[in-house]
Homo-oligomer: A and B are copies of this chain.
Amino acid sequence: MSETLGFIGLGNMGVPIAANLLRAAFGLCVYNRTASKAAPLTAKGATLTASPADVAQPGGIVLTMLADDRAVEEVCLPGGSFVEHLSPGGIHISLSTISPVTARRLAEHHAKYKVDYIASPVFGRPDAAAAAKLWICNSGPAAAKKRVQAILTAIGQGIFDFGEDAGAANVVKLCGNFLVAASIETLAEMLTLAEKSGVSKKAVAEMIGKLSPLHSGYANQIAEQKFEPAGFRLALGLKDVNLIMRTAAASMTPMPLGSLLHDRYVSAVAKGRANLDWSAIALGVAEDAGLALRKAAG
């Protein structure tokens, strides 16, 4: 068996990622606030610990897959955290989509304990995580990145490297999410135009699916107004758009399309759609055009 790793955060993404690490013959010490989520992993040989700090050992490696900036900070910053347990010579691989500013602050914090911070946010939904088909954006100290390569290879299909700045990988991850959110708005406007011009939305969605794989799934969802169950909750979409806008503000970058997306997500939440899929901003596009909505969707 290879090295034993720590893993904190066993949600929809964390569980399948951790399972792939076990499959690749890594040992695993896992922690989750709701301990029961660990069952499928302990069944395959993982050890469940009583506190997040216990997953780490001096000079070792810990991965975290947590919901947002605050969750990552809560588990990293308090005295006696897993970061101190990693000291000296350990590595923290942070898989979450968080703000570049937070990432840089964490890297500075970790450095005091001689622990390296690697930002490794991932593209892909739970099914891609299960299939070890994630795409990984990566930034951090070169030596540390080299050391963790086998780990990332076990969970993804490709790694994109963005240098040593701890914030860089998260900037790129937010760019990617922006691309997807913008594609949703684009599809919503064009399918609404088709419908109002008397052309079948579904036929257009089918064509788009053939011409651009990135747009395929969303084109169909929007054409069919099928927004439940949520693959990615709209409330989380707003959270990500907010991260994008805050990152833009930090560097004085005007993003008018970002602003348009922001207003759409705010409106969708105001209309009670926080728990639909984040492509449900398309409902607002249809409403603005005076179209009646499918019953189930509202």
Which A residues fall within an 8 A CB radius of B?
100, 123, 135, 137, 158, 160-163, 165, 167-168, 171-172, 174-176, 178-179, 182-183, 185-187, 189-194, 196-200, 203-204, 206-208, 210-215, 242, 244, 247-260, 262-264, 266-267, 269-272, 284, 287-290
Contact = CB atoms under 8 A, between A and B. Distances in A.
A199 B251 contact: no
A56 B258 CA distance: 47
Nearest to A264: B254
Contact of A267 (B135, B163, B208, B290): B290
A250 B96 CA distance: 25
A196 B267 contact: no
A197 to B, nearest CB: 4
What are the 10 tightest A-B residue pairs by CB atom distance, in nearest-first order?
Answer: A270-B290, A259-B259, A196-B251, A254-B263, A252-B270, A182-B186, A175-B190, A212-B214, A254-B267, A160-B207
A154 to B, nearest CB: 20
22 contacts: A162-B200, A167-B197, A168-B197, A172-B207, A176-B211, A182-B186, A183-B183, A186-B257, A193-B253, A196-B251, A197-B250, A197-B251, A211-B214, A212-B212, A214-B215, A253-B270, A254-B264, A254-B288, A254-B289, A256-B256, A256-B260, A267-B290
Contact of A207 (B137, B198, B242, B256): B137
B263 A260 contact: no
Best-surrounded residue of A163, A189, A267 (most CB of chain B within 10 A): A189
Nearest to A208: B179
B255 A270 contact: no
A172 B191 CA distance: 9
Nearest to A139: B199
Contacts of A289: 252-254, 267, 270
Contacts of A256: 189, 256, 259-260, 263
Contacts of A288: 254, 263, 267, 270, 284
Nearest to A270: B290
A213 to B, nearest CB: 7
A165 B198 contact: yes
Contacts of A198: 165, 167-168, 171
